[in-house]
Amino acid sequence: MTLPTDQQQIEFEAAAFRRLLGHLRERSDVQNIDLMNLAGFCRNCLSNWYQDAAKDAGVAISKDEARTMVYGMPYEDWKTLHQSEASDVQKTAFEASRPHE
């Protein structure tokens, strides 16, 4: 088995991340609360992690810029086009599964 070089690993991870973003953009029917309830993260988490990575590299990216990168459009536009009100079942599941500080 040939192990990837460090640069190849970065490239593979970046390609996988871009593919994940594309998938999430295509699946706008899947709500963030569903992702949180099932996987413990959502599109907003991804944008926060992206913003954190930029900050760690010394690059200032705003929350809105990071969300636009993840959503493929301004977050407010995405919410208007795709976000529905969470059901009581979704809200209850979220409260039960989310980390409590």
Q: How confident is the model at residue 100 (pLDDT cuts 50, 70, 90)?
A: low
Q: Which residue has the higher pLDDT, 23 or 101?
A: 23
Residue with tokens 């413990």: 40
Select from 81, 100, 97 the least CA-distant residue to 34: 97
pTM: 0.87
Residues 14-53: tens digit of each pLDDT: 999 999 999 999 999 999 999 999 999 999 999 999 999 9
Q: Is the pLDDT of residue 97 over 90?
A: no
